[in-house]
């Protein structure tokens, strides 16, 4: 899901996970209504919010134990899974430090692990690569590809990094001021904009009618 700042990406994702009720229309997640069947929907979804807002007084171990408890996960299975991710993200040393004392990147990793813990059918990630170091960005890209390949699962995520979206996503949705102005595979979007070899960035700027606006803004700033 792509969109300018304030286009409605995060609000859409919050509606998908049941944090916000839609002002108009309806949301259906894997056939369930997050407003009418919140618990059922939340069992199927793993979510990483835009900001790593967590219980700061807890340690990663305590936080993940809380998530695993609420999700009713098996101790042995969840421990093995958590260990794999903790090792992959290289945060063993920080595992017993309060979250308040950790960097934004490490907190983001904890949130990602929390979302993967129950191996949900749908992962909803709001700008998941923010704050991550290059190694972790690469790791996440590989993990997401592998995750989708392993089963009937989906990942819905928002990003500002066109290159990541173009490389990873089977389908791209482009939001502009609360409206979906384009949606489909790269080929669909190229056809929609009549641009045969366009990059996702060019398609995005064309669909949101921002291309000329960018140059105008640069010209205006040149005089400052």
Partner 1 sequence: MRPSGPSEASRAPVAVPSAFRLAEMAYLELSFQAVYALRQGNVLAAETPKIPGGLAAQARRRVAQSKFLVSLLIVMLIGGSMLTLTPFFEQIFLVGPVAVPLPLYTGTVVAGLLLLELSFLWMVGLQSLPTFLGSQILPVLETLPIPDKKLDRVALLVLFRLFDAPAVTALVLTPLALGFAFHSTLAGLLVLPGVLIVIILAMGLSLRTGRFFVQHVQGSRGGLRESVLRWFYLLLWAVPAFGIYGFVSFGFQIIGGLAYLSRTAPGVLGNLLLIFPFPLGLMPLFGLSGTSSIGLLTGGNVVTIALAAAGYGGLALGVARWLLTAPRALSRLTPEVEVSDKPRGVVLRPVRASAAILLKDLRTASRTPGYAFVILLPLIDAVVIGLSSYIGAPRPNSVFDLAAAAVSTTAILAIFFGPAFFATEVMGYSYTRTLPLTNRSMLLGKSSLIVLIYLIASAIVVGLTILRLLELWLFFAFIIAELPGLIAAAFLEIGLLFRRAEAAGVPVSLMSSGAWWATTVVLPGIAIAGLPIALFAVLQHFGISPIQSFLAMGGVALAELAIFSLFALGLPGRGRG
Q: Which of 70, 214, 216, 217 touches partner 1 by CB under 8 A?
A: 70
Q: Which of 26, 57, 214, 216 touches partner 1 by CB under 8 A?
A: 57
- Dihedrals phi, psi of 155, to nearest 5 degrees: -125, 125
The distance of closest approach from Cβ of residue 59 to partner 1 in the complex, given in angstroms and rounded to an integer, is 4
Three-state secondary-structure class, residue 98:
coil
The distance of closest approach from Cβ of residue 81 to partner 1 in the complex, given in angstroms and rounded to an integer, is 9
Binding flag, residue 30, partner 1 (CB under 8 A): no
Rounded-to-integer distance, Cα 165 and Cα 185, Å: 11
Binding flag, residue 47, partner 1 (CB under 8 A): yes
**DSSP secondary structure string for all residues of 12-39:** HHHHHHTSS--SSS---BTTB-TTTSHH
> Is the distance from CB of 208 to CB of 178 less than 8 angstroms?
no
- Residue 223, burial from CB neighbour count under 10 angstroms (0-12, 13-18, 19+): exposed
The distance of closest approach from Cβ of residue 87 to partner 1 in the complex, given in angstroms and rounded to an integer, is 8
Rounded-to-integer distance, Cα 129 and Cα 109, Å: 9
Binding flag, residue 66, partner 1 (CB under 8 A): yes
Q: Which of 30, 83, 135, 191 touches partner 1 by CB under 8 A?
A: 83
* Non-local CB neighbours of 181 within 8 Å, separated by 6+ positions: 174, 175, 207, 208
Binding flag, residue 7, partner 1 (CB under 8 A): no
Site for partner 1 (CB under 8 A): how many residues?
Answer: 55
Question: Binding mask 88-127 vs partner 1 (x if CB under 8 A, - otherwise)?
Answer: ----xxxxxxx-xx---------x----------------
Binding flag, residue 69, partner 1 (CB under 8 A): yes
Cα–Cα distance list, 182 to 3, 189, 202, 205, 222 (Å): 10, 7, 13, 11, 32
Binding flag, residue 188, partner 1 (CB under 8 A): no
Interface residues with partner 1 (CB under 8 A) are 14, 17-21, 23, 35, 38-40, 42-43, 45, 47, 49, 51, 53-59, 61-62, 64-75, 78-79, 82-83, 86-87, 92-98, 100-101, 111, 224
């Amino acid at each position: 899901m792509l969109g300018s700042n304030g286009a409605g990406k995060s609000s859409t994702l919050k509606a998908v996970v049941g944090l916000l009720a839609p002002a108009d229309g309806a949301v259906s997640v894997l056939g369930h209504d997050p407003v009418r069947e919140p618990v059922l929907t939340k069992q199927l979804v793993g979510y990483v919010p835009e900001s790593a807002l967590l219980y700061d007084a807890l340690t990663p171990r305590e936080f993940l134990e809380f998530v695993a408890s609420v999700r009713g996960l098996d101790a042995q299975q969840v421990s093995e899974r958590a260990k794999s991710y903790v090792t992959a993200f290289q945060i063993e040393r920080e595992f017993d430090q309060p979250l308040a004392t950790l960097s934004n990147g490490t907190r983001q990793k904890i949130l990602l692990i929390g979302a993967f813990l129950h191996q949900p059918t749908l992962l909803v990630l709001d700008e998941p690569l923010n704050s991550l170091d290059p190694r972790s960005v690469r790791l996440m890209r590989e993990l997401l590809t592998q995750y989708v390949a392993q089963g009937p699962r989906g990942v819905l995520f928002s990003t500002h990094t066109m290159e990541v979206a173009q490389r990873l996503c089977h389908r791209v949705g482009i939001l502009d001021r609360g409206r979906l102005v384009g949606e489909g595979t790269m080929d669909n979007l190229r056809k929609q904009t009549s641009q045969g070899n366009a990059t996702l960035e060019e398609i995005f700027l064309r669909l949101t009618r921002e291309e000329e606006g960018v140059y105008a803004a640069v010209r205006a700033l040149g005089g400052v």
